[in-house]
Amino acid sequence: AQSVTQLGSHVSVSEGALVLLRCNYSSSVPPYLFWYVQYPNQGLQLLLKYTSAATLVKGINGFEAEFKKSETSFHLTKPSAHMSDAAEYFCAVSLSRGGYQKVTFGIGTKLQVIP
């Protein structure tokens, strides 16, 4: 079985401050992990993904995430928040099951950026 836990359904940061969105996973096999962003009334857009090539993954818009096996974590960070970062962020874990890709999403974290 696989699961994803996102700590904090709402996170507020000041513009220019560090963004840290937490994600912990549970997987019986080595996981592949994704972060997606969703703006209001839109679909999801891939920010970055971990596929075991490197533990520190850089994505779009200045975001990055570090895979820590010992902590079963894949937290998303950005050094300096911008107003345009306000959105909902989803962590997801993926595995192959029965010949297809099974993706389990977290419940999401809404990021508010305060001017």
Partner 1 sequence: DGGITQSPKYLFRKEGQNVTLSCEQNLNHDAMYWYRQDPGQGLRLIYYSQIVNDFQKGDIAEGYSVSREKKESFPLTVTSAQKNPTAFYLCASSILSRPHSTDTQYFGPGTRLTVL
Q: Around Cβ 17, how many Cβ atoms within 10 Å?
A: 14
- Pick the closer one to partner 1 by CB: 2 or 17: 2
Tell me which of 20, 46, 54, 114 binds partner 1, using CB under 8 A: 46
- Pick the closer one to partner 1 by CB: 17 or 24: 24
Distance (Å, whole) CA 33 – CA 70: 15
Q: Is residue 99 at the binding interface for partner 1, with CB under 8 A as the rule?
A: yes
Smallest distance from partner 1 to CB 102, Å: 8
Distance (Å, whole) CA 43 – CA 56: 26
